[in-house]
Amino acid sequence: MTWGDIIDLTPKQFNFRNNTYKGTRSKNDVQNCAMLFPETSEYLGQYIKNNPTENGTIFYYKNVSRKTLLDDIGEMFREFKNSLPKSQLKQVEDVTQKYLRKSFRTTAKKARCHIEYIKLVMGRKLEGSEEFYTDKDAKMTQDVIQAVYDYYFGKQKE
């Protein structure tokens, strides 16, 4: 997701029981969806539970600039990385939120995931009429999400 997409997230876009996300990108109004890593679902669910908001978005603070929100989200991402066991942290320590979006796409391509499913996660338009006639479902992204998860958290690199 881009920073703008993250700031606009609402609890209604998530199904924590099924570990799914379905929303619309603020940049282009294209619907995107994805399965969530179990850790992401758990961490975000706890954050929402412990930080209720007033305007319906997950990351909202009264009288605070957008930059402050971005700083807070960046700090939350760093805290998440630092909470990982050392073996997992070593695999993701160089990953920043700024480059997560691009590294996600690159990793999914290396895993030979279907480009149309990668587009679903990235919030990109599908080819031609597919954009209008595809009932987008987070389960369609399961192979993409699993490939990226396995790359970062799967079998330890030799």
CA angle (112, 89, 35) in 5-degree steps: 45
CA–CA distance, 119 with 124 (Å, rounded to integer): 5
Residue-range domains of the chain with CATH: 3-153 (1.10.443)
Task: Report pLDDT digits (tens) over 13-33.
Answer: 999 999 999 888 777 777 788
The mean pLDDT value for 3-19 works out to 87
Task: Report pLDDT digits (tens) over 58-74.
Answer: 877 666 676 777 777 77
pTM here?
0.62
Strand order in the sheet with 31-35: 14-15, 20-24, 31-35
